[in-house]
Structure 1
Amino acid sequence: MIENLENKGPEKPKSNYKRNFLLVVFCGLIIFAQVYIGAKFFSYAQEENRANAKKENVAKELDNVETKDPVQEVKVDSSLDGKAAASGTQKTGGSSDISVEVEDTASGDSGWDNGGIAEAAVWNEPVIVKDGQEPLVVNGDVVEYAGAKNEVNALGNVEIDYKGSKLSCQSLKVDTLTKEGLAEGNVKIADKESVIEGSKVSYNFATQSGVINDAVFHSDPYFGKALKIEKVGTGQFIALNSKITTCNFDHPHYRMGAQEVNVYPKNKIQIKGAEFYVSKFPLLYIPQYNQSLKDPMMHVQVMPGSNKDWGPYMLSAWRYNLTDNVNGNLFLDYRSKLGLAEGVDLNYKNENFGKGDYKFYFTDESPSSVPDGKQKSYERYLSRWRHQWAIDEHTNFTSEFYKIKDEERKILDPNKNILKDFFFREYEKDSQPLTYALFHHSFPSASLDLLMQKNINHWFNQLDKLPELSYTLPSYQIADSMFYFENNSTLSSLSKGPDVSPTSPEKVSFTRLDTANKFSLPVKIAIFDFTPFVGSRETIYDRGLDGTSLPARTIFTAGSGLSTKFYRNFDITTRFLGMEINDLRHVISPIIDYTYNHTPTIPESDLRQIDSVDALTSSNTASFGLANKLQTKRNGMSVDLVDFRVTSAYNFSPQVSSTYKGGGGLSDLFFKLKVLPYSWLRLESDATFNNRKNSFTDVNYDLNFDLGKERSFALGQRYQLSGGNQITESFNWRLTPKWKFSTYHRFNINGGSDSTNGLQEQQYTFTRDLHCWLMDVTFRTTKNEGSTVYFMFRLKAFPETAFGFNQSYQSPESGSQSNP
């Protein structure tokens, strides 16, 4: 109730005497409460220490217990009131090896009669029930053992630890032979995978199965309530007439009401007859719902947004799980300027045949603006299949298949690309993905590869290799001699179309055998490792440039390698500028390699050119390398504080072509630098210096600050003398427990024109924690392309989505092949 305070006059102050008296009384009450609570905590701590000590003693005694004859045994050791210790045994007459042990009894009648045979005994100490395997320890305020009934009864704060599960309740009755138990009053069953609570539980400790009434449960990430739960062993329980959610509020933001929920902790859940609710409002009915707990993807994903090329749009994905090993997404997308698009992807794995994924995406695109005289709709689709199969530890199979149809590229705009338009992150990684199948087998000292590669998308710059067989023998010691032998051989049936680089007026195809053999003799000379070598490279073609046969092309090669390593240790321990330095080592590693390749016996002008092997010429080169490292120790491990490398080469009269030999000279200098001064700061850089132009032609660096969980900053630069100078920035910061903010900027310097200069791309994302949900709001604008705004709602339990628009998105990895 809000009152009108303006009409009230000033309140009359109370006397100082009364106020001081009340203050003294209030402070006294606070002091008394603190003393009382402190005394209680101290008393509770002492009791807990005594209880823990007793449990440790029981555990130690259990470790020393040996399996005895098939008798049921009760031991009582009491020294209260000066009474002597008593012990006795009761034979069960059966074949069970059950035994019950109780030690350090408290007080009262021990129940001994009939010559020391225990008919019943009451203790307030643990009762240990042994079955010859793992003991069952019953703790409680009052524990009663009835020998004639083979029964243990416990009351008050009852706890049992058995086979990794812990049961607690207020009342328990256990049959020592069958291990059947009945627990009542605040019953709780907990293990490493789940927690189940209920009012009454019938439970078998041997099979770890039972029935729990009026139950609540938690199996990460799900919480639920059920009229009844049937626990089926250690890896499954079934909740009947239940409610389930990932929200742990008493009144969750969303939930599913289900007739039956099969929970396989840390593996999967299966829901039958699910009704989906947001707050108290039902939204839809799902006959069956399966969710893998190993899959971080949400089942229903919707992302609205708007940009220049698509207009307002809505992207959606429905996650499905056919089996434990088969799942995927169904896509239905609407773009107001392009129309509808639909697709499906499938992920699968099989213990016998490997794993893979398949994607199909189709659109009959109807652009809102089409030049006059052009057709109004264009069929575009992508079909992709990737598979990996580890046949055995030495053999594997990898394949990728890409089929693209793009009428819009063919008819309307040659710069169009369905990968670029709809799957930009994959396009950035590989704009011309290969179609191939690769079989690989490793021998103890060699490897064999069989490759089938086909260019099925005619505008891709790719070769056909049908097939290519490669044999690789790394440096291998010849018997017990000092000599080593190395071989690389490839047999290929190659072909390329006229539009594949290097271009030719017609299709080129031939069969080629290329083999390189090398003999080396590594020796140690003082502090140097010296490796001279000789070898030859033979290439055999089925026909030459004019279609006639050719002799083998031979290239003789020789050279040597020289390397060493120097280091010095410095006894330095310091925290200078906050850097953790525990001893310091400086390592210098110089390398010099010399290689001479003789002029080929057949010049390149007499060969059909299909790849770099056909364009080989003579060379005479010395390469140099110098590596510097500063190392220290952190947390007992070696860490490279600084790693700086410089490499270059000197060409002695290089063969520019078969008819022209240029003068010698030093090639470009290449620099690589890595610096790790702190655990939270990392700098990586590389650069190329052209000594002829006396300037750097390429400079790149990345500076990364990892300032804590969800707090990072990164800055990078890409400089090219003949191109642009681009700076990128990424910032991620957890502002509050509820809010997170991230940015991405790409800025171009010296782009050559106003359209390519300045801020090229900027992106801002706010993420709001909605307890069990995450909401992302992203605004991105790209120069000359327009702006995009999109929203994303994600479950915290399953945060990943099938949409790849954010700059931090990681696209799927492609296979092991690369374009020539």
Structure 2
Amino acid sequence: MTKSVPRPTQVALDTVRTATTADSLRLSAAPKGDIETTVHYVAKDSIRFDVQERVAHLYNKAKIDYGTLSLEAARISIDYNKNLLTAEGAPDSTGKIKDRPIFKDKDQTYQAGRIAYNFKTRKGKIAEAVTQQGEGYVHAEVVKKNDLNEIFGRNGSYTTCNLEHPHFYINASKMKVIPREKVVTGPFNLVIGDIPTPLGFLFGYFPTPGKKRASGLILPTFGQTTDRGFFLRNGGYYWAASDYVGVRLTGEIYSGAADQFGGWGATADVQYRKRYSYTGSFNASFSQRPESQILRSSSVSLDQPYVRPPSPRTFWISWNHSPQARPGGGQFRASVSLGSQAYNVLNSFDTQRYLSSTYQSNIGYSKVIRNSPFNYSIQASQSQNTGTGEMNVTLPDFTLGVARQYPYEWFGLAPRGRFYEQFSLSYDLQGQNRLTNVEQARQLTVDGTSIPLIGGTNQGRRIPVNLSNVGNLFRNAETSVRHNFGISLGSYTVLKHISLSPSVSYGETWYTKRLDYTYDPLARAVRIDTAGFGRVYNFSAGASASTNIYGLYVIKGKKVEAIRHKISPSVSYSHSPDYLSSDILYDRNTDFLDLRDGNGRLLGNQTISRFQGFGAGVPGGRTSNLLSFRLQNQVEMKVKAKKDTTGNTPFEKVSLIDGLDFATTYDFEAPEFKLGLIRGTFRTQIARKLNFQMDGIFDAYQRDSANRRLNEFLFNQNKWRLARITAANLSITYQFNPEQRKSNQKSNLAPNNTPVLGQPQNATPYEEYVDFSIPWTLNSSFSASYFNQPPVLPRAGEKRTSSLTTVTLSVNGTVKLTDKLRFGYSSGYDFRHKEVSYTSLDFYRDLHCWEISGSWIPFGQRQGYNVTIAAKSSLLQDLKLSRNRSFYNR
């Protein structure tokens, strides 16, 4: 039943009661006096209004809405004379207090034992209060709230644990809370599991920015290393430049050992984003170690001698920039990872970066021009091998492309299904300037004999990458412009079942230089000179034909219905002209005169490439008429599945052999060995978990006792053979990932921070980092490589080289012992060298508002362990305890 009455000063109603339905009393007269707006209230049991005292009492599940204020409690009283609102809970039959007051003021929520609030002064007093501030919760025996929305607490605590009785908290006799800004306390100490600890300080300051990020100091960690002394690490400042840019500046410093400064390091980490446009991150790190710093070798044994690092100063730069696709707009992308050769070995704690030796970087901009067939891209790329020190840079790399064009459209012809409608053309131009710190390895070898050079070198020398060598790097540059013409003649069906596809391709590469060779009879060597413009062209034409053949064997068994065999043969032919006769590509006027090979034969006139060692290379050989064969096999089984809801028995396909393929070539123009190597591949999958693949290379020609090929087929010898295996590789992988539970099921992880709602809810951001829905995972791989050694007996005292070149086993995965405890592992074994590869074990334990994690590397250069127990909240990221022994302090 709903009532509408005038303002409290004119009300003549005594009481309004109801026992079965919620009742409400609405004051809807024009607001006058201290009450500025309409008060709406409702109670499940009854509402009693004392006209003489001007007090309204609400019983059982009472609720009041007044402007931006909202209050729910077991019992609520409103005193209009004093403008005072009070609320409290009520005991149930067991004496437990239920329906405690929950007070909401705009976006602030308070749960309490008793609340008193003045409408006029907008001040309140709250007993046994709990309120959320940012990621933390404020508990207090008594809380007062002023008209500035500031909160003053007595005998309070601050915690990030979301339970009514938290696992830990910071205890203080008094505190002040400024919502969405900070919590300030007097002297405090840390309480863990209701046990006071001596950890504390004279005052406490905890920023609570709410949804807005805030700047602040980052406290460093303290420790000691064996070689660099005491340290302060990962301390600095976080600057929230805006809602879209965050900057983290940290550093580290070492006291040193043996009267030598231990060095220092600095890191700048920037994250940025622009909604609907792009996201990115940038990281730059620098480290300076003592020049006399020495480290152990990478051997598993700890008794190996020490080695010095390549450089005491190292750096590393990482940058990732990803745009969001927009129609018709250009896109800028960046993926950069580069730095000093020894940085990751000396400074990185990341296993993947420590084990990796090759890094790639790319920066580029691409755009498709609207209403035109043109598109272009400009980029720069870099590759680096930290193991060898080799670095290659392509700057710039420009590409202009033209979308595929159909000539019949140029003449305004309408499509009629004619064969010429399949003719199409495409073109792209690519210009590159390549820099490398490896000098070009100019090497001339004729019939296995290395020819002496003048002005060249037989081995590529690495140039140190620094400012003083910029001139040498640019002199070693290679500039080229490549033209690619795509010519498609279409695809046609002949003899009803054969697909025929002719093809033509042509391309050119222009270089800013070429090589000329001159024989010097006095030095008895060849001089290499760099000339001007050089041009490399490549032309080929051909056709391919393919078809499919099916075979079906019907079984009609209880489970197996039939077996199907699919055979896919294909044949292709290609032709290329005689490139060796081209003066553009080869120097055919080099007369070596009296140079002789290892057998004393005169080398005489030779044909040498003018573009040896260049990026695009040069097509080689005489006229080529190459016929290629390929035979693919696939075997499937049709089996009965379980009955569906309609009672029917459906069928499903099960693959028995994913592929059994053979391929080879036959060159009609080759003077000998016209039949190429035969390559075979077998692959299958068992139970959708075990993948099996074997690759082999076979040779159909005979060999003599010195393992030299003879131009005679194996089937022509007395002991008939079709082919001999020369190399093989076996790969077996097993992956087990139990099916994850449905996404609508609730997680069993720690509850989120909602103590004011009474019971914790199941949600946590740590699902993004630790997946507890999979009981256990196992990824294993076994690989073995075989090379057929020549039938040559070893010399006295020597052991014959094993035909198995590699035999390795690697495993990794996770095991979830409970809903909140996970173990991870990674290891392997090299059977040929009898060594255990890089091994690591780790664990993670969810402790509700805390977490404990650790890792152990039992041997190797990075042998050690690390155990950390810390609060989950990022607000208390410095509240942690770590114990470790690593390559820094072992």
Say whether the fold is shared (TM-score over 0.5): yes
Q: 1:555 aligns with which of 518, 539, 546?
A: 539
Q: Determine if the alignment matches structure 1 residue 711 to structure 2 residue 775.
A: yes
**Alpha-carbon distance between aligned partners in 2 of 1:143 and 1:573, rounded to the nearest angstrom:** 78
Alignment of 1:337-348 (within 5 A): 339-348=262-271
Worse-superposed segment, 585-594 or 275-284: 585-594
Structure 2 residue 855 is the aligned partner of structure 1 residue 774: no
Name the aligned partner's letter for residue 123 of structure 1: T
Give SS of 1:453's match: strand
Of 371-380 and 608-617, deviating more is 371-380
CA contact (8 A) 1:126 1:139 kept: yes
Shift of 1:517: 0.6
- Residues 359 and 383 of structure 2 are in contact (CA less than 8 Å); yes or no, is this contact kept in structure 1? no
Q: What is the deviation of 1:513?
A: 2.3
Q: C-alpha offsets along residues 341-372 of structure 1, whole Å, 9 cap, x if unaligned?
A: 42324132231564222221312334455999
Confirm whether residue 487 of structure 1 aligns to residue 391 of structure 2. Answer: no
Offset from partner CA, 1:187-214 (integer Å, 9 cap, x none): 12699x997412327699xxxx997834
- The answer (yes or no) to whether the contact 2:681–2:695 under 8 Å persists in 1 is yes
Which is further off, 356-365 or 618-627? 618-627
What is the match of residue 217 of structure 1?
131
Counting only pairs closer than 5 Å after superposition, residues 647-796 of structure 1 correspond to structure 2 as 648=661, 650-653=663-666, 663-665=674-676, 667-675=678-686, 682-692=689-699, 693=725, 696-706=728-738, 709=773, 711-721=775-785, 723-730=805-812, 732-735=814-817, 740-751=822-833, 757-765=834-842, 767=844, 770-783=847-860, 785=861, 787-796=863-872
Residue 350 (structure 1) aligned with residue 285 (structure 2):
no
State the Cα deviation string for residues 546-590 of structure 1 (Å, max 9, x = none): 43445561423443474669899999999x9xxxxxx99989776
Change over 3 Å in CA distance of 1:545–1:694 after alignment to 2: closer
- What corresponds to 1:278 in structure 2? 190
Decide whether the 8 Å contact of 1:508 with 1:610 is kept in 2: no
3-state SS, counterpart of residue 438 of structure 2: coil
After TM superposition, give the deviation of residue 701 of structure 1 in Å: 1.2
Structure-1 residue corresponding to 2:480 = 511
Quick one: distance in 2 between partners of 1:799 and 1:641?
Answer: 53
Q: TM-score, normalised by structure 1?
A: 0.61
By how many angstroms is 1:788 displaced?
1.3
For 1:253, the aligned partner's letter is F
Q: Give yes or no for the alignment of 1:440 onto 2:366.
A: yes
Instruction: Say whether 1:645 aligns with 2:658.
Output: yes
Report the AA paired with residue 168 of structure 1: E
1:723 is aligned with what amino acid? T
| Letter of the 2:17 counterpart | V
Whether the 8 Å CA contact 1:595–1:622 is kept in 2: the answer is yes
SS in 2 for 1:665: coil
Spell out, residue by residue over 1:782-807, the C-alpha distance to the aligned partner (whole angstroms, 9 max, x if none). 35x3731222224345699999x9xx
Q: Would you say the 8 A contact 1:441–1:447 is kept in 2?
A: yes
Could you tell me whether the CA contact under 8 Å between 1:340 and 1:364 is conserved in 2? Answer: yes
Higher helix residue share: 1
Kindly provide the amino acid, as one letter, of the partner of residue 532 in structure 1: S
Select the residue among 106, 122, 126 that pairs with 2:17.
Answer: 122
Change (3 A) 1:379 1:786: closer
In structure 1, distance between residues paired with 2:204 and 2:358: 41
Matches within 5 A, 1:310-321: 316=234, 320=238
The SS at the match of 2:345 is helix
For residues 171-320 of structure 1, what are the structure 2 equivalents within 5 Å?
A: 171-172=75-76, 183-185=87-89, 186-188=100-102, 196-198=110-112, 199-200=114-115, 213-214=126-127, 215-217=129-131, 222-225=136-139, 228=143, 241=153, 243-247=157-161, 248=163, 250=165, 252-255=167-170, 277-279=189-191, 280-283=197-200, 289=207, 316=234, 320=238
Of 343, 346, 350, which aligns to 1:421? 346
Contact 2:333 2:364 (C-alpha < 8 Å) held by counterparts: yes
The residue identity in structure 1 corresponding to 2:273 is N
Moved more, 583-592 or 272-281: 583-592
TM-score for the superposition, normalised by structure 2: 0.57
Distance 1:518 1:779 in 2: 58
Secondary structure, in 3 states, of the residue corresponding to 2:344?
helix
CA distance in 2, matches of 1:731, 1:740: 11
- Please report how far the alpha carbon of residue 765 of structure 1 lies from its aligned counterpart in structure 2 after TM superposition: 3.8
Distance of 2:2 and 2:59 partners within structure 1: 21
CA distance in 1, matches of 2:840, 2:441: 40
* Native 8 Å contact 2:378 2:397 kept in 1: yes
- The answer to whether the 8 A contact 1:544-1:606 is kept is no
- Figure out how many residues of one structure are paired with residues of the other and give that number: 651
Alpha-carbon distance between aligned partners in 2 of 1:335 and 1:563, rounded to the nearest angstrom: 74
Tell whether the 8 Å contact from 1:365 to 1:380 is kept in structure 2 after alignment: no
- Alignment-mate amino acid for residue 126 of structure 2: N
- Compared CA separation, residues 288 and 255, structure 1 to 2 (3 A): closer
Task: Give matches, 1:427-576, under 5 Å.
Answer: 427=353, 431-442=357-368, 448-453=376-381, 459-471=389-401, 473=403, 480=415, 483=422, 485=424, 487=426, 489-497=428-436, 499=438, 505=456, 507-522=476-491, 530=499, 532-543=501-512, 545-546=514-515, 547-550=531-534, 553-560=537-544, 562=546
Partner amino acid for 2:690?
L
1:103-130 alpha-carbon deviations (Å, 9 max, x no partner): xxxxxxxxx99xxxx9974334224799
Shift of 1:614: 4.7
Task: Classify 1:691/1:145 alpha carbon distance in 2 versus 1 (closer, same or farther; 3 Å).
Answer: farther
* C-alpha deviation, 1:749, in angstroms: 0.6
| Alpha-carbon distance change, 750 to 250 in structure 1, aligned in 2, over 3 angstroms | same
**Percent of residue pairs identical:** 9
Summarize the Cα distance change of 1:733–1:509 in structure 2 as closer, same or farther, 3 Å threshold.
Answer: closer
Deviation at 1:738, TM superposition (A): 7.2
Equivalent-residue separation in structure 1 for 2:209 and 2:565 (angstroms): 55
Q: Which runs of 5+ in 2 are unaligned?
A: 29-38, 90-99, 192-196, 296-304, 410-414, 444-455, 457-474, 516-530, 587-608, 700-724, 740-771, 786-803, 883-890
Alpha-carbon distance change, 777 to 346 in structure 1, aligned in 2, over 3 angstroms: closer
CA distance in 1, matches of 2:182, 2:272: 20
Distance 1:738 1:350, change over 3 A: closer
- Closer, same or farther in 2 for the Cα pair 1:766/1:538, shift >3 Å? closer
1:172 and 1:718, CA in 2 relative to 1: closer, same or farther beyond 3 A? same
Change (3 A) 1:772 1:374: closer
Say whether 1:322 aligns with 2:257: no
Q: Which amino acid aligns with 1:278?
A: L
On the 8 A contact 2:632/2:659 being kept in 1, the answer is yes
Deviation, structure 1 residue 381: 2.3
SS at match of 1:433: strand
SS of the residue 1:650 aligns to: strand
What is the correspondence of 1:23-38 to structure 2 with a 5 Å cutoff?
none
Match of 1:363 in 2: 288
| Pair 159,516 (structure 1): closer, same or farther in 2 beyond 3 Å | farther
Deviation at 1:543, TM superposition (A): 4.1
Structure 1 residues 744, 358: closer, same or farther in 2, change over 3 A?
closer
Deviation for aligned residue 1:158: 2.4
Q: CA deviation at 1:434?
A: 3.8
Deviation at 1:141, TM superposition (A): 1.3
Q: CA RMSD in A?
A: 6.3
